[in-house]
Amino acid sequence: METIGRYLIQTELGRGAMGVVYRAQDPAIGRWVAIKTIKLAELSDEVERGRLRVRLFREAQSAGILSHPGIVVVYDVGEDGEVTYIAMEFVGGPTLEKLLEADEPPDQQTILDVLRQTAAALDYAHKKGIVHRDIKPANIMIAEDGTVKITDFGVAKISASQQLTQAGMVLGTPNYMSPEQIQGKPVDGRADQFALAVVSYEMLTGEKPFQGEQLTTVLYKIVSEEPPAPQRLNPTLGFAVDMVLGRALAKDAAKRYPTCTEFIAALEAALNTKKGWKALPRGVSANLPTAMVHKGRMTARPAAYAEAERLAPKRTKAWHVIAAALAGLGAVALLFVAAQRYFLPAPEGTGAAETAGPAARQPGSSAEPAARPAPPPSPAQPEAAKTEPQATPAPQPPAPAPAQAEPPPVPTPKQVEPPKARPPEPPPAREQPLQVVTNPPGAAAVLDDDLSRTCTTPCSFQVGPGRHTLAVTLAGYRRELRIVEVTSPKELFINLTQPTGTLRVESDPPGARILINGELRAESTPTTFTLPAGKYVLTVSKDGRRAEQAVEVKDGSLSRLDLQLNP
């Protein structure tokens, strides 16, 4: 049986850019382990190979100090000939990558469980000063009991550093890397948060936010372009999901959430605004195009739209009915005008040319009217003839007969003004839903200062069109006020912030360690902290000398604490 170090190799579990992973047994204690080999021997540069070997041992040893249920434990690191290996905890379950490759996407509960556990494990590592740097579905494992475990701590840092520097070889995938990693800037836990946001985006939409056929294209998009809104790919998601993922995917790490746990809590609250949300299978929008008509021509659209529209909750069709009614009124008005013009009798006193239609008024046509006889005398003319003597007219020379009698001019018909159609009355103003989501959830939302209209977030109000005010309060957080203009269904996402103050800590002598409420901080005196408002006990110590003092941090305050160390 083949061995690596003291471990007995049983089966091959998988292959990756860094090497091969085996299932093996430690014969000393009978424990099953996963052995990951590292291909350092394939590096042609001996200096670089030696440097990476030192880093690998150092990073693996650092990862070995992590003791958390959500992190795969590193047992051993060593070399066997030209093979460098790491022995780690064996997890009897699939990776998230395998889960996402299935025909059916994970359900709501599975998605939230995976994200919550991953975020908690990452925050634990970040507090220990360790950044994973290569969070992706292949490095997230799901045990048989549902426990999520992150693997490749320590190895990931080596992998990430070589992705952009080793000629002719890309280790791992760049789709999950943060902008600061690509640009070679210092990274902290927010780089892992960016990668976790990419994983969340992919789990919900079935697509990676940054894609391209060339490596340079993907890297450029991560650094310079915004991803498509998740709701555009999966309409079952709400607008609040776009906002949460947009913040976690911010190019500037300072604009992301303080911790991974806060990010996932905000994402869960945003998802809860749409009770019927459902994830889409991986690649469905790229592989199954459907058709839609756009401005008179047929275009392709991703099948994700068709699938998501089938899953999305049915919306009311009242506006469709109103639109059809307005169109019908318009058609009736046109028919009425036409009938008035061409079919109704002309008003009294108008000629036949007014009602005969356009053809009757064309000169030279067969329908042109003949000369009209002189109108009969009015009734007043005979009375005048009885009372006044008629004078004998003088003889007049006969007028020459005209060659052809010209008919009297046809009088121009009077233009009949068609009656104006009355415009349809606008539909009565309808109330629209206003959905309110907060991070964290559970806040009290009051609409228009009316205490009778209060709900606990995430929740929804029915409001009339116009401007409204919203006040949101939650114990331990600042009160938030919003002015909302409602013209259609609207979703409002509010990120609550804790009241904070600034505390400057100095000591004599300087360089002392600092404990806040018994927790050791990485900083030493003198330094400045931004802390949530509240009461704290600060302890500073150096060379066996220490000092302790209680302090209260108020919202927006700037306090200074100068401690004299006593033996």
- Residues classed as catalytic: 134
512: tokens are 């002392």
Cis bond before residue 440 (omega within 30° of 0): yes
Spatial contact of 143 and 150, defined as CB atoms under 8 Å apart: no
Distance between CA 73 and CA 341 in Å, rounded?
90
**Among the listed residues 13, 204, 209, 193, the one whose alpha carbon sits nearest the alpha carbon of residue 118:** 193
Report how far residue 116's alpha carbon sits from residue 262's, in angstroms, rounded to the nearest whole number: 10
DSSP string computed for 421-464: PPPPPPPPP--EEEEEEEESS--EEEETTEEEEEEESSEEEEE-
CA-to-CA distance for 114 and 93, rounded, in angstroms? Answer: 13
For 23-44, give the DSSP string: EEEETTTTEEEEEEEE-GGG-S
Kindly give the interhelix angle for 108-127 and 260-271, rounded to the nearest 10 degrees: 160
Radius of gyration of the chain (CA): 41
Which string of b and e fits 262-283 if b means at least 16 CB within 10 Å? bbbbbbbbbbbbbeebbbbbbe
DSSP-based three-state secondary structure for 123: helix
What number of other Cβ atoms are within 10 A of residue 113's Cβ? 16
Give the CA angle between residues 111, 193, 556 to the nearest 5°. 115
Q: Which residues contact 381 (CB under 8 A, 6 or more apart)?
A: none
Both ends of the chain: CA-CA distance in Å?
62
Q: Which of 203, 205, 192 is nearest to 234 (CA)?
A: 205
| Long-range Cβ contact pairs of 449-454 (< 8 A, separation 24 or more) | none
Tell me the residue type at 37: T
174-191 burial string, b = 16+ CB within 10 Å, else e? Answer: bbbbbbbbbeeeebebbb
Task: State how far Cα 257 lies from the chain centre.
Answer: 16
Q: Which amino acid is at 7?
A: Y
243: left (phi over 0), alpha (psi -120 to 50) or beta: alpha
CA–CA distance, 101 with 305 (Å, rounded to integer): 20
Residue closest to 126 by CA, chosen among 202, 52, 55, 62: 62
**Element (H or E) spanning 11, and its range?**
strand 7-15
Contact between residue 538 and residue 514 where contact means Cβ atoms under 8 Å apart = yes
